[in-house]
Amino acid sequence: MKKQKVPKVQTVKPVKPAENAADRSVKTAVKKGVKKLKSDGAFPYLCLAPSLIGVMIFFIIPFFVIIFYSMVDNPINKDFVFLDNYIAIVKNTAFQRAAVNTLTFSAIAVPLAVVLSLMLAMLLDCKIPFVSQFRTSFLCPMMVPVASVVLIWQVIFHYNGVMNDFLANFGIEKIDWLKSTQGQLVIVALFLWKNLGYNMILFLSAINNIPSDLMEVATLEGASPFYRFFKIKLRYLSPTILFVTILSLINSFKVFREVYLLTGDYPYDSLYMLQHFMNNTFRNIDYQKLSSAAILMAVVMIIIIGGLFIAENKFGEDVESD
């Protein structure tokens, strides 16, 4: 018997609804507009416009408003006094104390944060045992809430706290750490404990990006470990050192949060930071003094960061030319 052929079932394609002339004209106009923007080079600026507008509204315009407030007697009368507010703020004893304390803290904490994190990264690069556990232990402080950190530090450095009990075993008298000249050491230790882990990860990433063939050639040529570090590794690490330094400098100005929770509005003289001065001045609604201090802080930060960029460019120019 012959097999009967089964007739094929023809699939019916869905019929697209016909576009009217108005829809076609709109699509054509949109395509032509996008092509024109791309050909004129205006398309990237159009994409960046929302971000640029946000920066203008929330950063650039307020900055110029602060400059204006720093040169008037008060926001109500708005009489122009030029640099009188700056002269008054520089002569203010509270501002002088806050500026000296902040600069002292940054001068101690930032270099320590850079050097110690680089040393830890070099240590981890040597493939020591328990590398992952060691790295995790330094990253744990980033996950601890600020309130918990402050509570731990209060328990350790209180007059009747753990640190004084430990030092009493060696015959050292008790110290009220947060109400003495040693208060800066407590804040420096807190700053390092919180920031070393993140800086260490940044340096580890940079060390892994150093050309391995260059290090192998230096080793075969008999270069010592010190020569390989100072003449090769350190030059390739210069951009990361700059980034970590700027990041640590910014974080050193953010330590006010922990200091405020530990000591309040008016701490011991050695812990009175610029942020304390700003916060107390804002509460007194002294806008011209506050604006002048903010501009001076901005100028100092620009000078420091500019100097760091110049130093990095001179130190790393031979690496970039390679």
Q: How far apart are CA 203 and CA 93, in angstroms?
A: 40
Q: How far apart are CA 268 and CA 184, in angstroms?
A: 10
Q: Domain 86-321: give its CATH superfamily.
A: MetI-like (1.10.3720.10)
- Mean pLDDT for the stretch of residues 317-321: 55
Lowest average pLDDT, out of 25-34, 96-105, 213-222, goes to 25-34
Predicted local distance difference test score (pLDDT) of residue 158? 82
Q: How far apart are CA 316 and CA 322, in angstroms?
A: 10
Instruction: Report which secondary-structure segment, H or E, holds 43.
Output: helix 43-55
Predicted local distance difference test score (pLDDT) of residue 228? 80
pLDDT tens digits for 237-258?
888 888 899 889 888 888 878 8
Give which of 128, 263, 109, 258 is closest to 195, Cα–Cα. 109
pLDDT of 178 higher than 90: no
- Domain coordinates of the chain in residue numbers? 31-69, 86-321
pLDDT confidence tier of residue 25, bands split at 50, 70 and 90: low
Predicted local distance difference test score (pLDDT) of residue 111? 93
Sign of CA dihedral 216, 218, 221, 223: negative
DSSP letters spanning 301-318: HHHHHHHHHHHHHHHHHH
DSSP letters spanning 189-235: HHHHHHHHHHHHHHHHHHHHTS-HHHHHHHHHTT--HHHHIIIIIHH
Q: What are phi and psi of 80, to 5 degrees?
A: -70, 125
pLDDT confidence tier of residue 113, bands split at 50, 70 and 90: very high
Predicted local distance difference test score (pLDDT) of residue 115? 92
Lowest average pLDDT, out of 24-28, 146-150, 277-281, goes to 24-28
Predicted local distance difference test score (pLDDT) of residue 38? 59
79 token code pair:
């009489």
pLDDT tens digits for 44-97?
778 888 888 988 888 889 888 888 888 888 777 778 888 888 898 889 898 899
pTM over 0.85: no
Each residue of 111-132: b (16+ CB within 10 Å) or e? ebbbeebbebbbebeeeeeeee
Predicted local distance difference test score (pLDDT) of residue 23? 57
